[in-house]
Chain A
């Protein structure tokens, strides 16, 4: 049985599944329910200064659904906790004392003044919680007041606040990053420079889930008006994976602990983030959609997969994918694939044909000897993978690499046995020529 215990910045938890700072972690009642179900830790919903903020009194959430109402993407315009600071602090203290084996990290957001941060950190330290997470990510509401993503979008602010926090507390400091920025590496580097112990990402993405075509109001709608909210859920996972990978492979931030967030719904999602180097993962939307019990699937799934792979602890595979993320220019141009359609699995829907015919390379037939038959024309196939992705039958179409020396019928050339990328390609005006 694989060991799922994690030690993130010295914060120990029985598994890498933490609940992210959000409604599920807003109060003791919810957090205790989560711990009973088996969550490894929580990041308490963001605390601010009194008087507590107020939330809208209408819909806070919007969503994108699949045809069977599966939640594919989720969005919210909720702000930080709307309960008095002391109520939260008392509950945090009690929860940490009652659940000493679980991680309890507290998310914070106060105005960008050193004294404000110093003050709240002192109060939070008294709860004996395990660490703090600086909410520089919240993209709505708070950002209009100079907090949340308004800080996260300015690397200098991140560095400054991180430095204040490190100066005023002995607790580990995690900086939560907003994805609403052009290059995620810059805020991460700033956090590192400011002395932060880790980053967590991604926070939610600016979004409007839909426009109501009867009222012309954005959704979620508050009295006919809407404000952009933060997008999350399964739809954002690919964005989060990319951003995590950028930080994991950046020369300056490589090795900096990462707590990964963004659409994590199953054990597999978690394993992927850990493979990119995340030390643990944070979950919110999946819990909000299905309740806390989902952690049982996550723990069991991850553990079984690790057992099958022979990994006894998370460190056995953590970061294994990070080195495989590279720049386009370094991809091997001598890696040549052709699509192959397994005629035994083919159900003859023709999706591969029409996708290729209308939008790509006209490389899939429709008939053979007068019969409906879909087959790849190697002389046209560029190996783009479109047919694989539109085929409704898993593994019916696969991409097969051509062996070195084989003739690529499209180009008429033999496949070169060596790795060669754009940097040395003759079409590249900037190509570096090997010395004579």
Chain B
């Protein structure tokens, strides 16, 4: 029988009705109809040297694809997108467009209302994917082989481009399913309906790509072996480590790593069976913090608070994401850092003590004022780290900068024959679109190297 004592943590599944789960985790931006796409695409000015195109990390020819939509050629539009970014379908769903293409749209200057580029991109890419058409063909096989470590956005983008150029690619991924953060990291309501999986299938249609899942670098194979067995290696394994809070009581039960929890939630078969605290506190200020907080709320948590140690301007989550969280009922508390997690005698967390902070001469100092929030669950979302250990003995041969793999403009690492991209490289941006660009650039560089 449940213990109803005062300090019993209130963590429960099934807080909502079945319809509520379905509604809460349905598509955040439902797809646009053909007519809506016509009307919206007509708003595009077909700018010269379009700022949106420059703002896109993969430089999709946005004016051209929008014009193709306007001319009732959604297939051509889809291909224009995928030529620059094979993950264009996922990017249409998860890109923080408000800080990329849509922020650059000249309509912001005219009327503060950018063309809804992301929604149009989704319209075009959905068209191709629903038809099941893969718009690219593989050139004649080169006989060269490339190993790709990590089946996330960087690895898949790299593999697709390499396969298109005729190389044989083998992707290794430690997880049971390919897709990386697209499959395990993104909030469920941004990519419902198994989209990540469908996109992987779509990408693999190019042919020449083999995926080995459940295979981890450093555990099941080594970099040295890959270098021996393949003509080139691409590392796109992402960030395996999470930052610790380094806070007293961190080990309390109910204090969870947000990244792992989000991954679990994405794979949950039945959301109604996913337990969530009545009062949830999320520590952090990035997209992961937002995703954890919003999904907690959508699962039926009553009070969800994001505590961030600095101000709104410093939050890595975009303003749009912050607005989304607040609209969903999440409270965002700025200038508060965790100092202690309070657990009961059984070790279950029941509250978190936060200290108010302020910025002073570039640094951050505690003001001494303590705020204690009751919490049945605490999520830690204060950033991830690259774990270099799996690079094995070869790790010494690959230069790191700031704890991540150093690459040049072509995404070459310091080790000949090894390229890298995505979150694991120095300067990695924690964006699907940036990872896709890394993979594409690396593939072109590998192709040049293998062709010479």
Q: Are B45 and A392 in contact (CB under 8 A)?
A: yes
Contact residues, A327-359 vs B (CB, 8 A): 347-351, 353-354
* Chain A-chain B contacts (Cβ-Cβ < 8 Å), number: 39
Are A350 and B49 in contact, CB atoms less than 8 angstroms apart?
yes
- Inter-chain contacts of B70 with A (CB < 8 A): 67
CA distance A351 to B48 in the complex (A): 6
Choose from A67, A349, A366, A372 the contact partner of B38 (Cβ within 8 Å).
Answer: A67
Q: Say yes or no for B59: interface residue by CB 8 A criterion.
A: no
Q: Smallest Cβ distance from A350 to chain B, in angstroms?
A: 3
Name the residue on A nearest B63 (C-beta): A349
B38 nearest in chain A by CB position? A67
Number of interface residues of A (CB under 8 A): 15
In the assembled complex, which residues on chain B have CB atoms less than 8 Å from the CB atom of A366?
48-49
**Selected interface stretch from B103-111, B199-207, B389-397, B417-425:** B103-111
* B49 neighbours in A (Cβ, 8 Å): 350, 366, 372
In the complex, what's the smallest C-beta–C-beta distance from A313 to chain B, in angstroms? 40
Tell me the complex Cα distance, A348–B107, Å: 9
Q: How far is the CA of A66 from the CA of B49 in the complex (A)?
A: 26
Among B39, B42, B50, B106, the one with the most A-chain Cβ atoms within 10 Å of its Cβ is: B106
CA distance A37 to B48 in the complex (A): 48
Q: How far is the CB of B13 from chain A (nearest CB, A)?
A: 46
Check if B39 sits within 8 Å of A68, measured CB to CB: yes
- For this complex, into which size category does the number of interface residues on chain B fall? 10 to 19
Min CB gap B43→A, angstroms? 9
Choose one: A68, A69, A350; the contact of B48 (CB below 8 Å).
A350
Decide: A67 near B39, CB < 8 A? Known: A347-B107, A348-B51, A348-B109: yes
Which listed residue (A68, A349, A353, A372) contacts B45, Cβ 8 A?
A: A349
Q: How far is the CA of A68 from the CA of B35 in the complex (A)?
A: 7
Tell me, yes or no, whether B46 is within 8 Å of chain A by CB: yes
Residues of B within 8 A of A349 (CB): 45, 47-48, 106
Given contacts A67-B70, A392-B110, A393-B110, contact A351 B38 (CB under 8 A): no
Residues of chain B within 8 A (CB-CB) of A350 are 47-50
A56-102 contacts to B (CB < 8 Å):
66-69
Indicate if the CB atoms of B107 and A353 lie closer than 8 Å.
no
Contact across chains for A66 and B109 when beta carbons are under 8 A apart:
no
Contacts of A392 in B (CB 8 A): 45, 110
Q: Are B45 and A351 in contact (CB under 8 A)?
A: yes
Residue B322 at the A interface, CB < 8 A? no
Residues of B within 8 A of A354 (CB): 48
Assuming A349-B48, A350-B47, is B42 touching A67 (CB within 8 A)?
Answer: yes
Given contacts A347-B107, A347-B109, A392-B110, contact A68 B51 (CB under 8 A): no
Question: Given A348-B51, A349-B47, A351-B48, is A68 in contact with B110 using a C-beta cutoff of 8 Å?
Answer: no
> In chain A, what residue has the closest Cβ to B108?
A347
Residues in A with CB closer than 8 Å to B41 are 67
CA distance A146 to B298 in the complex (A): 74
Q: Whole-angstrom distance between the alpha carbons of A69 and B110 in the complex?
A: 24
Partner of A353, one of B38, B48, B109: B48
From residue 304 to 323 of chain A, which have CB atoms closer than 8 A to chain B?
none
Interfacial chain B residues near A372, Cβ < 8 Å: 49, 51
B47 touches A351 (CB 8 A): yes
Q: Give chain A residues whose Cβ lies under 8 Å from the Cβ of B106.
A: 347-349
- Could you give, for residues 38-82 of chain B, a 1 whenever the CB lies within 8 Å of some chain A CB and a 0 otherwise? 110110011111110000000000000000001000000000000
Q: With A and B bound together, what is the CA distance between A39 and B110 in angstroms?
A: 39
Cβ distance B165 to chain A, nearest Cβ, rounded Å: 33
Report chain A residues within 8 Å CB of B48.
349-351, 353-354, 366
CA distance A421 to B150 in the complex (A): 74
Separation in Å of the B78 CB from the closest CB of chain A?
19
A350 to B35: give the CA distance in the assembly, Å.
27
Most buried by B among A350, A353, A393: A350
Q: Which residues of A contact B110 (CB under 8 A)?
A: 347, 392-393
Which residues from chain B contact A69 at a C-beta distance below 8 Å?
35
Partner of B46, one of A66, A67, A68, A351: A351
**Which of A67, A349, A366, A393 has the largest number of chain B CB atoms within 10 A?**
A349
**Bound Cα distance A105, B47 (Å):** 51
In the bound assembly, the distance between CA atoms of A348 and B35 in angstroms comes to 28
Nearest residue (CB) in B for A357 is B48
Q: How far is the CA of A348 from the CA of B106 in the complex (A)?
A: 7
- Chain B residue with Cβ nearest A346: B109
* Smallest beta-carbon distance B70→chain A, Å: 7
Q: Chain A residues near B38 (CB, 8 Å)?
A: 67-68
Q: Which residue of A lies closest to B35 (CB)?
A: A69
Q: Which residue of A lies closest to B39 (CB)?
A: A68
- A391 — nearest CB in chain B belongs to which residue? B45
Q: Are A66 and B42 in contact (CB under 8 A)?
A: yes
Cβ contacts under 8 Å, A393 to chain B: 110
- Chain A residue numbers with a CB within 8 Å of B42 are 66-68
Q: How long is the Cα–Cα vector from A393 to B110 in the complex, in angstroms?
A: 8
Q: How far is the CA of A411 from the CA of B47 in the complex (A)?
A: 31
Which parts of B98-157 form the interface with A (CB within 8 Å)?
Answer: 106-107, 109-110
Residues of chain A within 8 A of B47, CB atoms compared: 348-351
Bound Cα distance from A392 to B45, whole angstroms: 7
Q: Complex formed: what's the CA distance from A405 to B185 in Å?
A: 70
A339 to chain B, nearest CB (A): 16
- Tell me, in angstroms, the Cα distance from A68 to B37 when the chains sit together: 10
Within the complex, what minimum Cβ distance (angstroms) separates A386 from chain B?
Answer: 14
A66 to B109, CA, bound (A): 25
Give Cα A366 to B54, complex, Å.
Answer: 15
> B34: shortest Cβ distance to chain A, in Å?
11
A65: nearest chain-B partner, CB-CB: B38
Q: Point out the residues of chain A lying under 8 angstroms from B39, CB to CB.
A: 67-68
Nearest CB in chain A: distance from B96 CB, A: 22
Nearest CB in chain A: distance from B176 CB, A: 46
Chain B 253-280 interface 0/1 with A at a Cβ cutoff of 8 Å (1 = within)? 0000000000000000000000000000
11 more contacts with CB within 8 A, not counting A347-B106, A347-B107, are A66-B42, A67-B42, A67-B70, A347-B110, A348-B51, A348-B109, A350-B47, A351-B47, A353-B48, A354-B48, A392-B45
Q: Chain A residues in contact with chain B, CB under 8 A?
A: 66-69, 347-351, 353-354, 366, 372, 392-393
Can you list 6 residue pairs at the A/B interface with Cβ under 8 Å?
A: A68-B38, A347-B110, A350-B47, A354-B48, A372-B49, A372-B51
The 7 A-B pairs of least Cβ separation, nearest first, read A350-B48, A67-B42, A354-B48, A347-B109, A347-B106, A349-B47, A67-B38
